[in-house]
Structure 1
């Protein structure tokens, strides 16, 4: 069958092609209600589907953005992606979400694929290992926003948590409860992924500011598969920690699983605070004290900032880093 064209719709509705175009682009300012109904009925009866590619070429916009998350399994990634999608939907933009698994090669492929599809801009949780590619995008004035992380010497707008403050809240809460043997565990930061690196450095700073000795054996940055073994070794030290900060939601889940397998009682045997307020924290038994990120606010700002860059064709802004404040959610997992 011959494809239905805009001209066919115009003939059926007895209007001009420009009127059909205005209808499709939701420009109804000078269009009567009767005309709108005729065009709508003609489109429905003929089964007309607009040529999105042709419209994109004409308007020089696909009305689509790409989001490349580090790991979609993290609660943070899921929640900020939802907030981004909400904002974009409200602005009639589509969202393509890709999962890079913290793999620079995979991240590079997704960036190249999304740009080949001519998405109007990107929100990226950067691995940090594609510096030339990030720089190239900025040099080309391509709309780009980093989320959760920054990359040294790459002046992309970055939406992040105040990670030092997040750790300080956790350390303070432990100290107020009389604990000083405080450990921290996070996933490996060989590439100095911003939140992991900043949280460990913030932990050291918080202890020193409270005149507590930093025990390097209490600082563990390990690959996910060896978290149980590392926990076992740390708790077998001659002077083991009596409390631990989980550097992200994945580590928290592994600590809770390990505690159950080893019949450890929380908080009697081990007090726990997690960074990231996971959905199950409030109804786990005992309920888990966490440091919450304002995930939806962060995602909302990332989307609004990117759309502003797209619409204004202005990639740089006055501020390169936007930091959000964490909140301590006190529950039952600290003795």
Structure 2
């Protein structure tokens, strides 16, 4: 059993316990373990276990320049999409022998800048960025220092980097097509401020330009960045109570908004299906709210893994860089009773 102690065991103590040199112990916990005999590796491993030794990863990175850390900036950790993608990123990092260091910016550019500085101090070997605003200067500086980065879901102007995310125009097309086929004619699209993220901008623009193509009319409702809680009941009630016989539906831009709108419709006594409800992002509870909420599911696991794969490829080809790639995944339609008239 490892020794219980309140102090940190040193590498010199492990060397003495293992009857080995300090250099050999350093090689064992570094990148040169194969240079040691199996017998010596066994002695060092046993000594480290008995003493409860844990290598100082920060010290190793400062000495050798290899932290084995991947940094990730998330714009809003409360967004279920962020959590789901982060799981895919972490799984891919682990499979490649890296650990993930994640930071939540809370949609605050100042926090984003501070977290970038923190991640740089840890000498991360790559960055996955779900950007807040347009931090092009800070991100370009990261690239110029030789740290590869991948933009997740949101593009940043004047930053030449790989982008991995959803095919947003296709997602809106699929939503409009589905709602039109189900007989809805008047739509309310509910989103957070589009100017804050390129993905929201693309979804909003596509919604506005494709309505006529599907024989629909529609309008948009923009909510503040309050975690999806600031749904104005009056605005939704006004849309639903507007005179006219055309069937109405609400299209939600993400999972947080879908949850908040569902609560609002329940409070207003709205019968789902008679009034359509559809959301981008599949959440566990969507099938549990009668009669079930129709969604467009993002392949979050694949998106997260692809982001890390891009980083690994960039690390291997840094001396011969290729043009940035845009990898867009298709959503999956999950029809349920909320769009069944």
TM-score normalised by the chain length of structure 1: 0.90
Change (3 A) 1:106 1:227: farther
In the alignment, is residue 196 of structure 1 matched against residue 197 of structure 2?
A: no
Contact 1:234 1:241 in 2 (8 A): no
Paired position in structure 1 for 2:3: none
CA RMSD of aligned residues (A): 2.4
**In structure 2, what is the Cα distance between the partners aligned to 1:99 and 1:204?**
31
Q: Which residues of structure 2 form unaligned runs of 5+?
A: 1-5
Change (3 A) 1:111 1:314: farther
1:111 is aligned to 2:111: no
Instruction: Please say if residues 68 and 107 of structure 1, whose CA atoms lie closer than 8 Å, have aligned partners that are also in contact.
Output: yes
Quick check: 1:183–1:241 contact (8 Å CA) kept in 2? no
Q: Which of 209, 232, 255 is residue 249 of structure 1 equivalent to?
A: 255
What is the CA–CA distance in structure 1 between the aligned matches of 2:32 and 2:236, rounded to whole Å? 61
Matched, 1:259 2:260: no
CA contact (8 A) 1:245 1:274 kept: yes
In the other structure, the counterpart of 1:51 is: 56
Q: Secondary structure at the match of 1:258?
A: helix
Aligned to 1:6, which of 11, 31, 49?
Answer: 11
TM-superposition CA deviations, 1:45-77 (whole Å, max 9, x none): 333332323311222021112211111111110
C-alpha displacement of 1:278: 1.0
CA offset digits 1:131-150 (Å, max 9, x no partner): 22122222333221110110
Deviation at 1:314, TM superposition (A): 5.4
Q: Which residue of 2 aligns with 1:159?
A: 164
Pick from 242, 263, 285 the counterpart of residue 237 of structure 1.
242
User: 3-state DSSP class of the match of 1:65?
Assistant: strand
Of the candidates 76, 101, 104, which is equivalent to residue 99 of structure 1?
104
Deviation larger for 287-296 or 198-207: 198-207
The unaligned stretches of length 5 or more in structure 1 are none
Preserved contact between residue 160 and residue 298 of structure 1 (Cα < 8 Å): yes
In 1, distance between residues paired with 2:319 and 2:78? Answer: 33
Secondary structure at the counterpart of residue 244 of structure 1: strand
Distance of aligned partners of 1:172 and 1:314 in 2 relative to their CA distance in 1, 3 Å threshold:
farther
Question: Are residue 148 (structure 1) and residue 153 (structure 2) matched?
Answer: yes
Q: Of the candidates 305, 309, 316, which is equivalent to residue 304 of structure 1? A: 309
Counterpart position of 1:279? 284
2:112–2:132 Cα contact (<8 Å) kept? yes
The answer to whether the 8 Å contact 1:187/1:222 transfers is yes
Aligned residue pairs, count: 330
**1:69 and 1:100 in contact (8 A); partners too:** yes
Q: Kindly state the Cα deviation for residue 166 of structure 1 after the two structures are TM-superposed.
A: 0.6
Q: Which residue of structure 2 aligns with residue 126 of structure 1? A: 131
**SS state of the match for residue 175, structure 2?**
helix
| Separation in structure 2 between the aligned mates of residue 323 and residue 41 of structure 1, nearest angstrom | 48
TM-score by length of 2: 0.88
